[in-house]
Structure 1
């Protein structure tokens, strides 16, 4: 079996992302992989609200940091030795394959089948679908 040196799990606060995280843990531990946990904050999704309240983006960053810190702690308690928590900005569909994957030399992306943004999925397709087509590495889509 091909060794997965770097495993990326994309989270967004959804239950599906939690399932993806849980699926990534035993793989990362068994392979001795670095586990990169990333959340991409889509500033465009917050832009209409941030015109009225500039703290919206800051709140999203604080929530993401707390979530990532919690996931990192869980991964380390599970026995994953090398864990990185990463916040990125932009569209998850674009940012993950074009920036995050090359930045960490990712071998495997673990993602939930669906996430928080149902409207974007309706009009543009899901992030997981986009990743399977464009990531340049293996992608594991986790269903609950």
Structure 2
């Protein structure tokens, strides 16, 4: 097995993403890898609701920041010394592959099999499926 210097775990608050995070910890620790914890907010998914409740995007942002802080703390407590969090806006499919992977030279992406956004999945397919097909590095799709 070649060395994994950078491990990326994509999180969204779902049970599957929690399991992906839990899976990433021992891998990143064993490899002494940098752990990138990423949350991508697709504002388009919330657009119809935001016209009725403009604060919904703010709430999603607050939740995302709290989630990333929680995961960063857990990773550090697990003994991972190099932990970075990324909060981006746009399509998770494109932001992960086009922005995060090249920026950090990611060796392994760990993602849950399904996420929170059922609407996007119906219209555009699974984020994890897209990542597995498009990523220039290894991808681990985990199921809880």
Corresponding position of 1:32? 32
Corresponding position of 1:11? 11
Alpha-carbon separation, structure 2, partners of 1:36 and 1:93: 16
RMSD of equivalent CA atoms: 1.0
Corresponding position of 2:58? 58
TM-score by length of 1: 0.96
SS of the aligned residue for 1:45 comes to helix
Q: Which moved more, 1:100-109 or 1:119-128?
A: 119-128
* Structure 1: 5+ residue stretches without partners: none
* Structure 2: 5+ residue stretches without partners: none
Alpha-carbon separation, structure 2, partners of 1:123 and 1:54: 24
2:10–2:110 Cα contact (<8 Å) kept: yes
Count of aligned positions: 144
TM-score by length of 2: 0.96
Corresponding position of 2:126? 126
SS of the aligned residue for 2:7 comes to strand
> How does 1:1-144 map onto structure 2 within 5 Å?
1-144=1-144
2:9–2:37 Cα contact (<8 Å) kept: yes
